[in-house]
Amino acid sequence: MEGYTTANFQVAENFRIKYLGTKGIVKSMMAEMKNIPAEKRKEFGQVMNDFKVFAEAKYETLKEINSNQQSGSGIQMDLSLPGDSLIPGSRHPITLMRNRIVSIFQRLGFSVADGPEIEDDWHNFTALNISEHHPARDMQDTFYIQGHNSNSTEWLLRTHTSNVQIREMEKTRQPDGKAKLPIRIICPGRVFRNETVSARSHCFFHQVEGLYIDENVSFADLKQTLYFFAQEMYGKDIKPRFRPSYFPFTEPSAEMDITCFICGGKGCRICKQTGWVEILGCGMVHPKVLENCGIDSNKYTGFAFGMGIERPAMLLYGVNDIRLFSENDVRFLRQFTSVT
């Protein structure tokens, strides 16, 4: 304490001597007055006076800090200490992955579209050609919302972000009944499925879905777009594979695999020795889905795709329990230092 006050007293005293002392800067500048041309003298005097007032105020402040410390009434301040270091936060790993995926598609001209997490049956199921008896509608898979029944609408937590695609397609409808296209969107967001929570699966997770509709969009466009995405995301050396699949809202439908980005296709624990990992579902938008949204399916075609974020994030970051993403444990989150 003694040391601090002496040091601070010295700081104040040094300041006084340098600026306000008999041989100080203010005095010697005043002495210059006689060399200033008469017509400039007034202006010079004013500037000098302002400077003197400023220096005196600064000196008073320095003295005050010193006396506060001596009386013990103020904050202890050692002006020679370095400042507190600033610890920057970090982005959540799911956000990092989402941003990576989104930025790749943005470079291809896709823009981000957003939509509600609480959704009606039409936008989550019916418009997507998911029939009344489809197992996805089962209470076992979908969270239905009770007591949200203003009219006879059935409300639920969306099971995929395809609801945003329907909403965006509906928005293209013009007053004359025709649709204004093209659409080129990606829909990142949180989705909910009534699954048992374990290290491998959770009752909510994140997806990025995409949709491109225009005249003459073909399956070749789908393949090339998704191949470009996979190379940007997982490395130039990966090879793609499209396996026939089924989704009610696309026809034909496919699942896209890539050569395992951990072992390079040789076979490892991650790819269960197959050399391949599945990364997304995709297909050509079913004509019925286009018609449900007022788009002429004879004139327009399109492709759609959807992928989860948690699973690739687990593989790329080496996370072995999906629950870690939603527990907000800073010891986990702090490890993701990137802020991009």
- Site for ligand PHE, rule CB under 6 A: 160, 162, 209, 247, 250, 281-283, 304-306
Spatial separation of the C-alpha atoms in residues 60 and 170, rounded to whole Å: 70
Query: Which residue, 20 or 108, has its beta carbon nearer to ligand PHE?
Result: 108
**60 contact partners, CB below 8 Å, separation of at least 6:** none
Give the residue with the Cβ less far from ligand PHE, 127 or 304.
Answer: 304
Closest residue to bound ligand PHE by CB: 306
Q: Whole-number minimum distance, CB 90 to ligand PHE, in Å?
A: 29
Least distance CB 275 / ligand PHE (angstroms): 23
How near is the Cβ of 247 to ligand PHE at its closest, in Å? 5
Q: Supply the minimum distance, in Å, between the C-beta of residue 255 and ligand PHE.
A: 9
Q: Between residues 129 and 162, which has the closer beta carbon with respect to ligand PHE?
A: 162
- Minimum CB separation of residue 283 from ligand PHE in Å reads 5
CB of 122 to ligand PHE, least distance (A): 16
Structure tokens at 61: 């402040």
Query: Rounded to an integer, what distance in angstroms lies between the CA atom of residue 334 and that of residue 22?
Result: 57
In this complex, which beta carbon is closest to ligand PHE, that of residue 14 or of residue 111?
111
Of 90, 85, 96, the C-alpha closest to 332 is 90
Task: Collect contacts of 64-71 with beta carbons under 8 A, ≥24 apart.
Answer: 65/8, 65/12, 66/5, 66/8, 66/9, 66/11, 66/12, 69/1, 69/4, 69/5, 69/8, 70/5
Count of Cβ atoms closer than 10 Å to residue 158 Cβ:
25
Q: Residue 95 Cβ, how far from ligand PHE at the closest point, in Å? A: 20
* Of 93 and 283, CB closest to ligand PHE: 283
Nearest-approach distance from CB 254 to ligand PHE, in angstroms: 8
Q: 250 in the Ramachandran plot: left (φ > 0), alpha (ψ -120 to 50) or beta?
A: beta
CB nearer to ligand PHE: pick between 13 and 120: 120
The rounded distance, in Å, linking the Cα atoms of 46 and 29 is 12
CB-nearer residue toward ligand PHE: 12 or 304: 304
Give, in degrees to the nearest 5, the angle at Cα 310 between 200 and 238.
105
Q: Of the two residues 93 and 306, which places its CB atom closer to ligand PHE in the complex? A: 306
Contact 187, 210 (CB under 8 A): yes
CB nearer to ligand PHE: give 70 or 201.
201
Closest CB 305 distance from ligand PHE, rounded Å: 5
Q: What amino acid is encoded at 82 in this protein?
A: P
